[in-house]
Chain A
Amino acid sequence: MTDAALSLSVVVLALALLAAAMMVRRARLWRIGKPAKVDWMAGLAALPRRYLVDVHHVVGRDPYAARMHALAAGGLLGGSAFAALALIPPLGASRLFWVAITLAFAVALAGGYMVGRRRIPVKPPRLSGGRFQRLPFFLAGYSLGAFLVALDAALGGAIWPLAWLGLWLAAAGGFGLVLQIDRGPMRHAFAGAAHLVAHPRPGRFEGERTTALLPLDLDAPRLGAATPSDFAFNRLIGFDACIQCGRCEVACPAFAAGQPLNPKRLIQDLAASLQPNATNGSYAGSPYPNARPVAGVGGPELPIVGTGAMIHPDTLWSCTTCRACVEECPMMIEHVDAIVELRRFQTLELGALPAKAAPPLMEMRYADEPGGRPLKARTDFAAGLTLPLISAKGGAEVLLWLGEGAYELRYGRTLRALVTLLHRAGVDFAVLGEEERDCGDLARRLGDEATFQRLAAENIATLARYSFKHILTADPHALHALRNEYRAFGGDYEVVHHAALLDELVATGRLPVGALAEVRVTYHDPCYLGRYNGEFDAPRRLLDRLGLERLEMERSGKRSMCCGGGGGAPVSDIEGERRIPDLRMGQAAATGAAIVAVACPQCSAMLEGVTGERPQVADIAELVLMAADAVTTLQPVPAA
């Protein structure tokens, strides 16, 4: 073992100790958070799989980044661990061992080169500058230096002047990297690992789509999150895990529309406010578009939201809760949970809602319906159709949940098509009629957990009075609430989306359909059906059964883009430069489709609101009805 090699081992060990001290210092900040139930043993045991499978599944969507990360992280950690182990005499004396170390640092060097190549000469806007821009130099310095020392040791001291030069380089680069553990890019390495272990939604790694918002204890002394210390500690770890890759920013519809929201910046503002006397000064990524001025100061016990704090309220209310950011985040951060937690405090404690969001909540409080319309009028859309009431029948196989869309003329047409199809297929169904209250989705997303919980309890009590096999709905927001969010309040239902039911009816021949003329159609995934509930295939299968030529948009399936209608965004109405539905309609038009097929009242309303030359908007039920009519006109069914 050469002297330089021995020194390298000592330097690596010293750096590791320093790194550990920095990590402990940062991790102590997490203790300001509230306690949370975490299964540490299971989390630790699952860490390798969560990292290698779940994280890499997301990272792998960008193959360059995946290779880069594998090389840089693998080489760096492997090489450093080996170099430290070389302090054990038999290992250190082995030239073969030093060959292995040389190779590891060569790999790290290649990774470091890729890190640099990605940002230099041109840094893509989604990546952060500042400390992040210095990262490739530290990486390269450390791995090149260590590489030289190891190579010299492997060669038995043949290039010793280079080795001593390398040692200084490695020490300098390594020191730079370790200093980035506290607030720089290297923080993601240990906070990310801790986040995977203590993740607030461990079900995500078990193949579940755990997307239901967690219930809030309405008797708690403070409702929602005002300060960083109001978040559970494992949420704080999540904020610290962010690597500022900007994937969430690229996916965010509000960001694209020029509204003052950038999920990456939001997470950074939250992470920054963990420490006392915090400022947002060191952030070097893209800003909130059309950012509203804020003081940019915070601390563990200081408010997060407000013009005198870190995050402007407009930022908070721009979110459509579409979960595109969560889907894209390689660090598995739960942005939507954080946003709703902050909204809960604003709404429940301060009553600080956007002016136009308050009236619908008030109507829900006293009339169980965001528009303040009579519950009786919900079935008005069906004038002239037979709409059996479950109170008259006592029970039915399928309970049709109509939702808020039933009051709207446009969506009424969809529901008429659905009801007609159900009759034609001989489905035994019924509606609640005036006993159906709003499902509370809007209230919950706007942070009004009190109204949501009351509506949930009352709807559950109503549903308990009737017997039915499952609930059918054409509204994915109601579907999500009834299927996933009512469970915490004692409502356990099998809920089917109309696309899935129609698909089954057509497949089993209960609903004969003819082929529609080769029309080009593109399907827009509703966030609450797709990303929230994992239902991507049934609507597509169904469209294919109708003989339509189906085209996919640039963003579809779980990476689909929101229509702008969720999370109360239409009522909050935060000003931007463009409108989200216009952007989405542009993507639909780019496929050359003549029809955008939708499967949600919100999507239908948002996309129908797009002006100018554009594809037609049609709900899947309307298309199925057209196809079913095609069969009856072509081959009249003989009277049985």
Chain B
Amino acid sequence: MRIAVLLSAGRHAVSGRPAPVPVELQAIRLAHDLGGEVTGLHAGPDAAPLKDTLGHGLPRLVHHRITVADDPLPSLAAALIEGAFDLVLAGRTGQGGEDTGLLPYALARQLSLPLVPDAAALAEGPQSGTLSVEQALPRGARRRLVVHVPALVTVHPAAPAALPFAFAAARRGAVEARPGLVAPRAPTQIEERPYRARPKLIAKAAAGASAAERLKAATEAASGGGRLLVDPLPEEAAREILTHLRDIGVLRSR
């Protein structure tokens, strides 16, 4: 199986120094354990900080050189098409760099690949050409899905720990540099503000109740009071979702 692991130029959450993104190192581990030919892909101005990923079990790293002003999406999409990968792994979110966590979705849309988010484990699927993905759901729940490859899978921090760093492997490894595609980013309307931690919302029912009740409310699955539909017709499901979105005010009723 040909596997591509997308690597972003991350930063350490505390020191702010360039550092590999832990969940992407876990993606390398999943690819490594699955076996096959694994390639790391990065599109950006500088891949030097990513060289350490070669010490975490990544055999090969290809760097598509673009400027800061370029959108990495076209370069990566081109590289993925050219490489004819069966499986593309990406982190669930980036860490600290330019990443928004949307790139895998944008890539999947552009390449018309199915996307399975939040994998905690991967295995060969029951038939050839399929992949079995164990998805990490909130509160430790797991769900197993089988997808046809090629597919794009994002990795969840609940996946097995990254392979420990081997200095000599990183030292020996080389980064293959290739020119990326020039694709100036469309000017964005995004407003930038310093991050402010929001107070955690505690379930309303528990406010003012005893400590034990508050703990229960905070830890128990918040049940939104929805309805469980098993195998609904697509139209019915869509209707239900729309109703729900209107109820909670996300969509305005028209």
Residue among A357, A361, A365 with max Cβ neighbours from chain B (10 Å): A365
- A372 neighbours in B (Cβ, 8 Å): 12-14
CB distance from A368 to the nearest CB of B (A): 7
- Asked if B48 is an interface residue, CB under 8 A from chain A, the answer is no
**Closest chain B CB from A231 CB (angstroms):** 18
**If A351-B56, A351-B57 touch, does A367 touch B165 (CB 8 Å cutoff)?**
no
Within 330-378 of A, Cβ neighbours of B (below 8 Å) are at 347-353, 355, 357-359, 361-362, 365-368, 372-375
List A residues 527-571 near B (Cβ within 8 Å).
Answer: none
Does A193 sit within 8 A of B, measured CB to CB?
A: no
Q: Is the CB of A349 within 8 A of B12?
A: no
CA gap between A29 and B125 in the complex, in Å: 53
A residues less than 8 Å from B163 (CB atoms): 351
Q: A351-B57, A367-B15, A373-B14 are in contact. Are A358 and B165 (CB under 8 A)?
A: yes
Contacts of A350 in B (CB 8 A): 166
Hey, which chain A residues are within 8 Å of B169, CB to CB? 349, 351
Query: Which residues from chain B contact A355 at a C-beta distance below 8 Å?
Result: 161, 164
Which residue from chain A places its CB closest to the CB of B164 in the assembled complex?
A: A358
- Contacts A358-B161, A362-B165 given: A351-B55 contact, CB under 8 Å? yes
With CB as the reference atom, state the residue of chain A lying closest to B165. Answer: A351
**Contact: A223 with B167, CB < 8 Å?**
yes
In the complex, whether B212 has a CB less than 8 A from a CB of chain A is no
Tell me, yes or no, whether B17 is within 8 Å of chain A by CB: yes
In the complex, residue of chain B having the shortest beta-carbon distance to the beta carbon of A351:
B166
A367: contacting residue among B17, B162, B164, CB under 8 A: B17
In the complex, A359→B163 CA distance in Å? 10
A201-224 vs B, Cβ < 8 Å mask (1 yes, 0 no): 000000000000000001000110
- B201 at the A interface (CB under 8 A): no
The count of A-to-B residue pairs whose CB atoms sit within 8 angstroms is: 58
**Cβ of A373: which chain B residues have Cβ within 8 Å of it?**
14
In the complex, A448 has a CB within 8 A of chain B: yes
Residue ID in chain A nearest B15 by CB atoms:
A367
Map CB proximity to A onto B154-170 as digits: 1 under 8 Å, 0 otherwise.
Answer: 00000001111111110
- Known: A355-B161, A366-B19. Contact between A223 and B168, CB under 8 A? yes
Q: Which of B135-172 contact A (CB under 8 A)?
A: 161-169, 171
Instruction: Using CB atoms, name the residue of chain A closest to B16.
Output: A367
Size category, B interface: 20 to 34
User: What B residues does A218 contact at CB under 8 A?
Assistant: 167, 171
Bound complex: CA A68 to CA B149 (Å): 75
Contact partners of B12 in chain A: CB under 8 A: 366-367, 372
B161 and A366 within 8 A (CB): no
Minimum Cβ distance to chain B for residue A465 (Å): 20
A349 and B166 contacting across the interface, CB-CB below 8 Å: yes
- Residue from B57, B167, B169 whose CB has the most chain A CB atoms within 10 Å: B167
A353 to B167, Cβ gap below 8 A?
no
Cβ-based interface call for A450 (8 A): yes
Per the bound structure, the CA–CA distance linking A221 and B21 in Å amounts to 29
Taking the nearest CB of chain A, how far is it from the CB of B233, in angstroms?
48
- A361, B17: Cβ atoms under 8 Å? no
Which chain B positions have C-beta within 8 A of A367?
Answer: 12, 14-15, 17
Partner of A348, one of B14, B17, B167: B167
Closest to A354 in B: B164
Contacts of B14 in A (CB 8 A): 367, 372-374
A359 to B22 Cα, complex, angstroms: 10
Bound-state CA distance A358–B52 (Å) is 14
Kindly provide the distance from the CB of B20 to the nearest chain A CB, expressed in whole angstroms: 8
Q: A351-B55, A351-B56, A351-B169 are in contact. Are A368 and B164 (CB under 8 A)?
A: no
**Chain A residues with Cβ under 8 A from B167's Cβ?**
218, 223, 347-349, 448, 450
Report chain B residues within 8 Å CB of A352: 164
Given A351-B57, A358-B161, A368 contacting B15 (CB threshold 8 A):
yes
Contacts of B55 in A (CB 8 A): 351
Shortest CB-to-CB span from A206 to chain B, Å, is 34
Residues in A whose Cβ lies below 8 Å from that of B52: 365
Identify the closest chain B residue to A345 (Cβ). Answer: B168
Alpha-carbon gap, A361 to B55, bound state (A): 13
Contacts of B13 in A (CB 8 A): 372
A-B contact pairs, 29 of them (CB 8 A): A218-B167, A222-B168, A223-B167, A223-B168, A347-B164, A347-B167, A348-B166, A348-B167, A350-B166, A351-B55, A351-B165, A352-B164, A355-B161, A358-B162, A358-B164, A358-B165, A361-B164, A361-B165, A365-B19, A365-B165, A366-B15, A366-B19, A367-B17, A368-B15, A372-B14, A374-B14, A375-B15, A448-B167, A450-B167
Q: Which 3 A-B pairs have the closest CB atoms?
A: A351-B166, A358-B164, A366-B19
**Which residues of A does B touch, CB under 8 Å?**
218, 222-223, 347-353, 355, 357-359, 361-362, 365-368, 372-375, 448, 450
Starting from the known contacts A349-B167, A351-B166, A368-B15, 5 additional A-B residue pairs (CB-CB under 8 Å) come to A351-B56, A351-B169, A365-B19, A372-B14, A450-B167
